[in-house]
């Protein structure tokens, strides 16, 4: 039995994680659950799964009397506390934003294995996080949940130790793939929330529309697979069936495919190297008929180039990109800025603070705070 703590259990990934692990009660049990504000759903989940610990990172509220078997913690530090003190071997990091970074570091210090959906953590703290997550005799201490990175990880299982030449990182292209640049600049929240193939939380849905999601994923791939930036090629693949691929020096390409369903990479991270039933729909290739691929339009989506530039700059540049994007995407969701302004805000923050160092957590905190302050001033 593996004990799993789910940080961000009320979110899109958290809820799907509960759904798939509940299919295998003989393999997994839940040790802890956390939410930010959604206390009603958190209480319901605690009632059903009976973890020993739970946290609400927002305000403290009274806990229903029938949940007295569970230790509740409140406030921003409670995420780290749960990550550090929960029972079991695994921590699924499924909170949104850089808010997950300290909890991931705390979980690693306590010897937990990290199942990482929370890509912002790796984007902001890449070097530090990877140093804390070495490969051990028992296998990896960090397993990707993001579908593309899970795909690359799965492809590497077939590499027999051969180095890859190139990562083909696929992207659906989001709802604005076929739009003209001028129209994208003025897109509304409802239009940006209409993702063609994936149903996800609000922030990642906006990131998919701006393609900052793919920018974050380029950086995530660099750290997870020790890739040089020029080894990562983004490919637009609107059907979201090929979740990514790797190419070898002999010209062979190994790809991982499947119907778009996050339950597959979530459960694979939990059960690796075993494969278990997920309830995902079977891939029906004849029904699809055709899979298409195209290069991304870097003029329409400047986010992609910003990721490569941030990797070239190194230090805290990726952290600044992430922080400014979190602020800009949040402001767009609240209707405070037009869609096109997201790119300007991130670009300006990168110009201003992109050269800061990222040697440790306090450097990262500092760069993150400065980038947010600059982004907010531009709103």
Among 117, 142, 245, 345, binds ligand NDP (CB under 6 A): 117
Nearer to ligand NDP, 146 or 247 (CB): 146
Size of the site for ligand NDP (CB under 6 A): 29
Residue 8 in the binding site for ligand NDP (CB under 6 A): yes
Nearer to ligand NDP, 119 or 177 (CB): 119
Among 80, 90, 146, 368, binds ligand NDP (CB under 6 A): 146
14, interface contact from ligand NDP, Mg ion, none, CB < 5-8 Å by kind: ligand NDP
Among 81, 102, 108, 119, binds ligand NDP (CB under 6 A): 119
Place of tokens 């180039």: 305
- Residue 245's region, left for phi above 0, alpha for psi from -120 to 50, else beta, is beta
Among 17, 30, 35, 70, binds ligand NDP (CB under 6 A): 35
Token duo for residue 363: 């450097």
Question: Which residue number places its CB atom closest to Mg ion?
Answer: 146
Residue 348 in the binding site for ligand NDP (CB under 6 A): no
Residue 74 in the binding site for ligand NDP (CB under 6 A): no
Q: Which of 46, 170, 21, 36 is nearest to 96 (CA)?
A: 36
Among 31, 45, 118, 256, binds ligand NDP (CB under 6 A): 118
Residue 210 in the binding site for ligand NDP (CB under 6 A): no
The residue range among 31-39, 226-234, 242-250, 349-357 that interacts with ligand NDP, by the rule CB under 6 A, is 31-39
Alpha helices in the chain (DSSP H): 12-21, 39-49, 78-85, 101-109, 119-132, 147-156, 181-185, 189-192, 202-210, 212-224, 263-271, 285-288, 303-313, 317-333, 341-353, 361-378
Give least dist CB 95 to ligand NDP, A.
4
Site string for ligand NDP, 165-204 (x = CB under 6 A): ---------------------------------x-xxxxx
Nearer to Mg ion, 217 or 327 (CB): 217
Nearer to ligand NDP, 96 or 331 (CB): 96
Question: Which residue number places its CB atom closest to ligand NDP?
Answer: 11
Q: Which of 69, 61, 91 is nearest to 79 (CA)?
A: 91
Q: Which is it for the CA torsion 279, 267, 265, 52, positive or negative?
A: positive
* Burial (CB count within 10 angstroms: exposed 0-12, middle 13-18, buried 19+), residue 312: exposed
Residue 264 in the binding site for ligand NDP (CB under 6 A): no
Distance CA 195, CA 187 (A): 13
Among 3, 4, 5, 13, binds ligand NDP (CB under 6 A): 13
Residues that bind Mg ion (CB under 5 A): 146-148
Whether omega before 273 lies within 30 degrees of 0, making that bond cis, reads yes
Do the Cβ atoms of 210 and 329 come closer than 8 Å?
Answer: yes
Rg of the chain on CA atoms, in Å:
20
Cα-Cα end-to-end distance for the chain: 49
Could you tell me which residues are beta bridge partners of residue 255? Answer: 245
Nearer to Mg ion, 146 or 261 (CB): 146
Site string for ligand NDP, 219-258 (x = CB under 6 A): ----------------------------------------
Nearer to ligand NDP, 202 or 235 (CB): 202
Give least dist CB 233 to Mg ion, A.
16
347, interface contact from ligand NDP, Mg ion, none, CB < 5-8 Å by kind: none
Phi, psi of 359 (to 5 degrees): -80, -25
Q: Which of 172, 203, 206, 200 is nearest to 187 (CA)?
A: 206
Token duo for residue 210: 């701006």
Sites of contact with ligand NDP (CB under 6 A): 8-14, 35-38, 57, 79, 94-96, 99, 117-120, 146, 198, 200-204, 262
């Amino acid at each position: 039995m593996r004990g799993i703590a789910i940080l961000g259990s009320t979110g899109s990934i958290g809820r799907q994680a509960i759904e798939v692990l509940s299919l295998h009660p003989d393999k997994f049990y839940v040790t802890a659950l956390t939410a930010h504000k959604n206390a009603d759903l958190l209480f319901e989940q605690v009632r059903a799964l009976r973890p020993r610990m739970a946290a609400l990172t927002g305000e403290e509220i009274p806990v229903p009397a029938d949940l007295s078997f569970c230790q509740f913690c409140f406030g921003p530090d409670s995420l780290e506390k749960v990550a550090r003190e929960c029972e079991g071997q695994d921590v699924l990091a499924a909170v949104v934003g850089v808010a997950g970074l300290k909890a991931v570091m705390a979980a690693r210090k306590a010897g937990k294995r990290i199942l990482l959906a929370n890509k912002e953590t790796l984007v902001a703290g890449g070097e530090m996080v990877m140093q804390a997550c070495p490969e051990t005799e028992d296998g990896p201490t960090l397993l990707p949940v993001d579908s593309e990175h899970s795909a690359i990880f799965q492809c590497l299982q077939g590499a027999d130790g051969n180095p890859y030449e190139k990562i083909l990182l696929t992207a659906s292209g989001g709802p604005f793939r076929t739009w003209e640049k001028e129209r994208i600049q003025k897109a509304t929240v409802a239009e940006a929330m209409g993702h063609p193939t994936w149903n996800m939380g609000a922030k990642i849905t906006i990131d998919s529309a701006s393609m900052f999601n793919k920018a974050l994923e380029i950086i995530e791939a660099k750290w997870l697979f020790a890739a040089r930036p020029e080894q990562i090629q983004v490919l637009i693949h609107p059907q979201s069936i090929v979740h990514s691929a790797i190419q070898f020096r002999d010209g062979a390409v190994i790809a991982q495919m499947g119907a778009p369903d996050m339950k597959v990479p979530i459960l694979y991270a939990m059960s690796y190297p075993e494969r278990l039933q997920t309830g995902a729909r079977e891939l029906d290739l004849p029904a699809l008929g055709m899979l298409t691929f195209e290069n991304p339009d870097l003029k329409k989506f400047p986010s992609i180039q910003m990721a490569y530039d941030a990797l070239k700059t190194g230090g805290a540049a990726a952290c600044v990109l992430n922080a400014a994007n979190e602020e800009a995407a949040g402001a767009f969701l609240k209707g405070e800025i037009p869609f096109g302004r997201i790119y300007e805000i991130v670009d300006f923050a990168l110009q201003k603070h992109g050269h800061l160092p990222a040697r440790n957590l306090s450097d990262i905190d500092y760069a993150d705070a400065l980038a947010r302050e600059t982004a907010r001033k531009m709103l």
